[in-house]
Amino acid sequence: MTEPDDLPAELPAELPDDLPAELPAELRSAAPELRDAYTVLAAGAAEILPANGLAERLLAADREQRGLRVKLGIDPSGAQLTLGHAVVLRKLRQFQDFGHTAVLVVGGFTGQVGDPSGRTATRAVQSADQVIANAQGYFDQLMRVLDPDRVEVVNNADWLGVMDLAEMLDYTRQITVAQLLERKDFAGRFAAKQPITLSEFFYPLLQGIDSVAIRADIELGGTDQTFNNLVGRELQRSRGQAAQAVLTVPLLVGTDGVEKMGKSLGNWIAITEPPGEQFGKLMSIPDSSVVSYAQLCTTLHPAEVAAIAASVTAGGASANAAKRQVAREVVGLYHGAPAAAAAEEAFDAVHRRGELPTELSFVDLPGEDPVHLPGVLVSAGLAPSTSAARRLVDSGGVRLDGTALARGQYDHPRAELIGRAVTVGKRRGARMR
């Protein structure tokens, strides 16, 4: 990894201002459809390495009359996928829509090692059975985004698990320990005298071997995967293959508009959430995040994203309309346009007309009398514990049929609760029976 354009760099935290991406010189005389493909595929990218890599690969595929092989490695952890996880999947779907093949590399072998990217400590090891079981849970969610007719699924245990030591050692000669220690996560742990296992050092090498095995043209990943993906370029060159281009996508900011989307922060939106939940959460994002959600979470063309950016800049009703458009687009992707329209109407019923949510689940009341309402909130999944539920009551966040409960109003006659709606906030509630 000695070429200057292959050295990892600190990536910008903000999305680029030039929407759509500037067209490279190589493509200015290309066919309009090829120029449009580049504009769409480059839009929203955090970085393309080398800078002309995507253009060169598109032109090569056009000359050879074939689709690109676009690699995405997945080491499943069993987690529910969020819009943050889906950013790279949406980019992969864009490649599919232009006729290219998505190659999903399931980490049947590397998943047992554990990706050290962004880690401050050694990751817990998964068994082969755990990796495969988690992968099976992933695919239903993955195919909500990807076109299953243009997906090739491979398991890197098929080549890594049978590779002999001599071949592996030959690969190790292509990368130095000094290069590995340039990685921010490894450098930090080394400086702090925290342990780094040899297997973690091997992870970037193993991921690079995957690119050789599948003959990848493009590798996608988050900004935390840049180093690993560049290793793949170097290994491909050492085996006489054309080096893959690397396209990284930004990390999506959560609904708070500040931190990276994550479940531990409570600022996440799952791709499998009900339409109403998705729409409501999307309407809660700050205006400053609307353009990045439009760019990273929808199928809108860069020109349409630019129009949304102009509406957000205008502020007021225009910004609100832009946010609504993004919310409709996202919900429509995962649930269909009719569901998105119904979710918007339900949102307006609650937030504009002050009505109770129409889609309430039922919760059974306990046999005791009086009923301790915080316990009902826990049973309905509206609070994690009775103490948290009491705090919600005390803060005025719990309502019975739309009327806020007073501080300390925990116990109620059972007969007075049957058939009534208990709500927490404006979108979550249950009807008691």
Question: Residue 429: which H helix or E strand, with range?
Answer: strand 428-432
363: CB partners within 8 A, 6+ apart: 376, 379, 380, 422, 430, 431, 432, 433
Number of Cβ atoms within 10 Å of the Cβ of 28: 9
Secondary structure letter of residue 195 according to DSSP: -
Residue 169 main-chain phi, psi, to 5 deg:
-60, -35
Q: Which pLDDT does position 20 carry in this prediction?
A: 39
Q: Which two tokens stand for residue 233?
A: 């370029």
- Residue 41 CA to residue 57 CA, distance in Å, equals 12
Q: Over its length of 433 residues, how does the chain's per-residue pLDDT go in tens digits?
A: 333 334 333 323 333 343 334 788 889 888 999 999 999 999 999 999 999 999 999 999 999 999 999 999 986 665 688 999 999 999 999 999 999 999 999 888 887 775 555 444 444 555 556 656 666 667 888 889 999 999 999 999 999 999 999 999 999 999 888 888 877 777 888 888 888 888 888 889 999 999 999 999 999 998 888 888 999 999 999 999 999 999 999 999 999 899 988 877 778 899 998 898 899 899 999 999 999 999 999 999 999 999 999 999 999 999 999 999 999 999 999 999 999 999 898 888 877 776 666 667 788 888 888 999 999 999 988 888 889 899 989 988 888 877 888 899 999 998 888 878 888 876 688 888 8
How high is the pLDDT of residue 79?
Answer: 66
What type of residue sits at position 344?
E
Q: Which two tokens stand for residue 259?
A: 């931190």
pLDDT value for 13? 33
DSSP SS3 for 210: helix
Q: What is the pLDDT of residue 17?
A: 41
**pLDDT score recorded for residue 127:** 58
Integer Cα distance of 51 and 4 in angstroms: 11
Catalogue all structural domains in the chain, each as residue range(s) with its CATH number. Answer: 4-249 (3.40.50.620), 263-351 (1.10.240.10), 361-432 (3.10.290.10)
Query: Of 325, 330, 15, nearest to 145 (Cα)?
Result: 330
**What residue type is 366 in one-letter code?**
P
SS3 123: coil
The answer to whether 249 touches 91, Cβ cutoff 8 Å, is: yes
pLDDT of residue 432: 85
Contact (Cβ atoms closer than 8 angstroms) between residue 387 and residue 342:
no
The Cα-based distances of 273 to 2, 114, 187, 237, 321 in angstroms read 45, 28, 38, 43, 23
pLDDT of amino acid 176 = 84
